[in-house]
Chains A and B, each alone.
Chain A
Amino acid sequence: MSLQPYASPIERIWFWVFRVFCGLILVFLMIPVLVIIPLSFSDSSFLTYPIQGFSLRWYEQIFSAGPWMDSLKNSLIVAPLATLLAMIFGTLAAVGLNRADFPGKGLILALLISPMVVPLVIVAVGMYFFFANLGLLNSYTGLVIAHAVLGVPFVVITVNATLQGFDYNQMRAGASLGASPLRVFFTVVLPQIIPGVASGGLFAFATSFDEVVVALFIASPTERTLPIQMFSGIRENISPAIAAMATILILMSVVLLLVMELLRRRSEKMRSHS
């Protein structure tokens, strides 16, 4: 959209009002992300502006052995495993959904996506009691299963989207050349849908890495994940250590964003080739 040279004054005013409005929305979106970073370098133990002195003590605090590192470690155990589980289950299911029509397909698709829409607190309370009976409460296993459930819809959706452009004749060609179905999957299908699998995996990873409600219910202090530590930090010891961890998480989200962009480009390139 650009301003036409023959635009009337009203159109000109409207054009600029519109641009300023959009600019303000972008500021609104970005400001919380930006505002927290300087606070992590404050030397006071209260999260308030103006900052009185500069210090790296909060980074020292979160990077020294203690609850922050423990919770980071826990998240780094749970998130990759949950992601892996979600990727395996999700990719298989998406391939299956795309291969053929079968009765109840719409219903099954709705089921596979539903963890994304059911309010987290309901999932959390349900799993809390169910896992209690199975002895999965307060265990890494329970947490991994719970987070895999929450991550699965993303993998199904992204892989499903990637498969829309997939030509199944390639599989037939592979099979007619004597390759086993497994070999066809790994050498023909997977390389083409890998961007979708990976971006679904990133979503699943980010979900697990940011999930607090379910973890609050089903994890004990031993499996305390980073979001729980953040949550109780925001509620309890409101200290700039949170800002320091937040800054690191923001850096991580920049990395996620970049990887996502790379994957998107790759899958677009692939599609234009095929």
Chain B
Amino acid sequence: MKLKNNTAKHLLTGGLLSAGLVLAGNAQALTVISFGGASGDAMQEAYYTPFAQKAGITLTPGDYNGEFARIRAMVETGNVSWDVVEVESPELARGCFEGLFEPIDWELLGIQDDLIPAAIHECGVGTFVWSTVLAYDADRLSRAPESWADFWNVEEFPGKRGLRRGAKYTLEFALMADGVAADDVYDVLATAEGVDRAFAKLDELQPHIQWWEAGAQPPQWLVAGDVVMSSAYNGRIAAAQEEGRNLEINWTGSLYDLDYWAIVQGSSHVETAYDFIRFSSQPDTQAQYSSRIPYGPVNPAAIAELSEKQAARMPTADANLEGAIAVNTDFWVDYGEELEQRFNAWASQ
């Protein structure tokens, strides 16, 4: 009888405990927004699932296409439903200045010395290095395109081209195609003539362009035969290559940058967000992520855990950095919205 009672007691406490855990788990729900796609899948496996298990919380993943305005609207209307969000560097700088992101307490986070310097920002923590490259279907081109000038050469390479629907990472390529040296691109683009020149170059190619918005579209279109070449995130192309598709990458004239984790101002889970960011910056989790999609880790210790073949596909590999330029964050902070507006009016005509 006593024993039975005890068992009942144990069962009861156990039940209460687990019920409490479930409740606590619900209270501790963290919403993490990424750019989705192949990268989001890799994050799910490398970061989200293990973190949710380790911390005993519910992690709600979501994705967006970098619509910065959604974050603004959330903060301004006081309806913050995103906690941690993956942002590109110009948006991070702009949002940080406008007070849309929580400033990062680097001492509290305590991982400052583990990361590359570029990953450290007032309002964000770098999480990977990506690159926008010229990708093409090797089966359908007579020779490998070597530059953005080749991308614009519709006579030698007939067929549609994919470009990102936006000014960012499109105007740079247009200028390079027009003969501007990679290092001078942002200087030229900062002048009114330079902008006109970039748009004039886009005018030339316009009838052959198919615009993409989501990173998953270029590989899909290359595989389906909608386009013969496209600007694309290198990681998405690698995912298609692994499926045995003969897609190739030309790294010359590619643009690389970091994506950052930022915490939305007014998030009610800042502490959990810190835990998440800390967790996703460890060498082993970073290596897990980078082995699933070839974006460069920000924790240098992670590179040691990658195979040579994997390391060679990273934007950060020496061979790939040749002829590549870094995205100029300051430029896009200053000119971004103006150029995006002009681009939008131009593209809708």
* A–B direct contact (CB < 8 Å): yes
Residues in B whose Cβ lies below 8 Å from that of A47: 220, 224
Q: How far is the CA of A44 from the CA of B245 in the complex (A)?
A: 11
B223 within 8 A of A: yes
A235 within 8 A of B: yes
Q: How far is the CA of A40 from the CA of B65 in the complex (A)?
A: 26
Residues in A whose Cβ lies below 8 Å from that of B60: 221-222
B216 within 8 A of A: yes
Please state if B82 and A220 are interface contacts (CB–CB under 8 Å): yes
Please state if B220 and A46 are interface contacts (CB–CB under 8 Å): yes
Please state if A238 and B81 are interface contacts (CB–CB under 8 Å): no
Residues in A whose Cβ lies below 8 Å from that of B240: 46
- The residue of chain A having its C-beta at the shortest distance from the C-beta of B222 within the complex is A46
B344 within 8 A of A: no
Residues in B whose Cβ lies below 8 Å from that of A137: 77, 79, 81
Residues in A whose Cβ lies below 8 Å from that of B41: 237
B113 within 8 A of A: no
Q: How far is the CA of A236 from the CA of B61 in the complex (A)?
A: 15
Please state if B243 and A129 are interface contacts (CB–CB under 8 Å): no
Q: Considering the complex, which residues of chain A in the window 123-152 have a beta carbon less than 8 Å from any beta carbon of chain B? A: 129, 132-133, 135, 137-138
- Which of A45, A48, A129, A220 touches B31 (beta carbons < 8 Å)? A220
Residues in A whose Cβ lies below 8 Å from that of B38: 237
Q: Considering the complex, which residues of chain A in the window 226-253 have a beta carbon less than 8 Å from any beta carbon of chain B? A: 232, 235-238
The verdict on A232 contacting B36 (CB below 8 Å), with A46-B220, A222-B29 known, is yes
Q: Considering the complex, which residues of chain B in the window 62-90 have a beta carbon less than 8 Å from any beta carbon of chain A? A: 62-63, 65, 77-79, 81-82
Please state if A138 and B81 are interface contacts (CB–CB under 8 Å): yes
Contact residues of A: prevailing secondary structure: loop
Min distance, Cβ A13 to any Cβ of chain B, angstroms: 40
Contact residues of B: prevailing secondary structure: mixed
Q: How far is the CA of A67 from the CA of B78 in the complex (A)?
A: 26
Min distance, Cβ A195 to any Cβ of chain B, angstroms: 40
Interface residues on A, range: 20 to 34
Interface size on B, residues (CB 8 A): 29
The verdict on A236 contacting B36 (CB below 8 Å), with A132-B78, A220-B31, A220-B82 known, is yes
Q: Mark A60-104, 1 if CB is under 8 A from B, else 0.
A: 000000010000000000000000000000000000000000000
Min distance, Cβ B58 to any Cβ of chain A, angstroms: 9
The verdict on A221 contacting B243 (CB below 8 Å), with A137-B81, A232-B36 known, is no
Q: Considering the complex, which residues of chain B in the window 12-41 have a beta carbon less than 8 Å from any beta carbon of chain A? A: 29, 31, 33, 36-38, 40-41
- The residue of chain A having its C-beta at the shortest distance from the C-beta of B242 within the complex is A45
Min distance, Cβ A34 to any Cβ of chain B, angstroms: 19
19 A-B interface contacts by CB (under 8 A): A46-B243, A46-B245, A47-B220, A47-B224, A48-B223, A48-B224, A132-B79, A137-B77, A137-B79, A138-B79, A138-B81, A221-B60, A221-B61, A221-B82, A222-B29, A236-B36, A236-B37, A236-B215, A238-B217
Interface set of A (CB-CB < 8 Å, partner B): 44-48, 67, 129, 132-133, 135, 137-138, 220-222, 224, 232, 235-238
Other than the given A45-B243, A235-B214, A236-B63, 16 more pairs (CB < 8 A) read A46-B240, A48-B223, A132-B77, A138-B79, A138-B81, A220-B31, A220-B82, A221-B33, A222-B60, A222-B81, A232-B36, A236-B214, A237-B38, A237-B40, A237-B216, A238-B217
